[in-house]
Chain A
Amino acid sequence: MTMESQTQTTQMYRVYINATAEAVWEAITEPEWTVQYGYAPLVEYELRSGGSFRAHANEGMKAVGCPDVISDGEVIEADPPRRLVQTWRMTMTPELAAEAFTRLTYEIEPVRGGVTKLTVIHDLTGAPMIAAVLRGEGESGGAGGGWSEILSGLKTVLETGHQLPFQSGPA
């Protein structure tokens, strides 16, 4: 890659959710929840420092040729329900899997009246292709809306119990 890939690249997202911090934590770390929003993977977390992380393709994704494991990484810090830090990379294609492991931080903070502030800080240094996907730049090509779509879907499913229509990949 060019010099660009060496540049420090961080993306940051925030959403307020009308749910408890515990509920937000579960929606991020439990497959029963993750299959209901965003790219709808089935996550598998070992929630301890050094534990493994894997996200498996759902049946719909496998039907269109996705590999079983679509992203993986390692848990750096798990402090339920407030903070989760992990490494993360996408393994959908060999090109994406060849990019650097990124560092993903979830900060979950109760604010007021049962509302929780969820902040995602994603250090994408050395992973320009996945940075573009997570920014939603591949949306018109069917790569989904990235973090915006994921967090919006997470909020909707926690607040209403409904899933948003999937924009990317069948579920």
Chain B
Amino acid sequence: MVGVDDSHVFKALAHPTRRLLLDLLFERDGRTLTELESQVDMTRIGVMKHLDVLEEAGLVLTRRSGRAKLHFLNPVPIQLIHDRWIDKYTEHHVSALTRLKTSVEAQE
């Protein structure tokens, strides 16, 4: 694996305020800190800290537009975890079939 560590993603998702921030960005992307702050019952500094954790996990990306810093939801790290689990189950499935085949053939 390269890029972001899974544990950062899980840690980031573990807090309800951070999940709320992601939900807000899912509803409408490209928001400023001021816009996000107005939707969350928390101090500006508090929201900033949560956004930092989300950014570190790769779940939020920022981009400057003039003077404003805009925040975007990046769901790719969650998708990567999801896909890796699918792969794991697929492999398990395949290896179970392989074992079945071997044991059936051994009995013949």
Contact = CB atoms under 8 A, between A and B. Distances in A.
A151 B3 contact: no
Interface stretch (B16-24, B46-54, B78-86): B78-86
Interface in B58-108: 58, 61, 63, 70, 72, 74-76, 78-80, 82-83, 86-87, 90
Contacts of A135: 26
A148 B75 contact: yes
A115 B83 contact: no
A18 B2 contact: yes
A14 B86 contact: no
B26, B80, B82 interface centre (most CB from chain A within 10 Å): B80
A151 B83 contact: no
A15 B72 contact: no
Contacts of A148: 75-76, 78-79
B42 interface: no
Contacts of A126: none
Given A13-B76, A14-B61, A16-B2, A164 B83 contact: yes
A149 B26 CA distance: 16
A54 interface: no
Contacts of A119: 61
27 contacts: A8-B30, A9-B30, A10-B29, A11-B29, A11-B72, A12-B29, A12-B30, A12-B61, A13-B61, A13-B76, A14-B58, A15-B76, A16-B2, A16-B3, A17-B2, A115-B3, A117-B3, A119-B61, A145-B79, A147-B76, A148-B75, A148-B76, A148-B78, A148-B79, A151-B79, A152-B82, A165-B90
Interface of B: 2-4, 26, 29-30, 58, 61, 63, 70, 72, 74-76, 78-80, 82-83, 86-87, 90
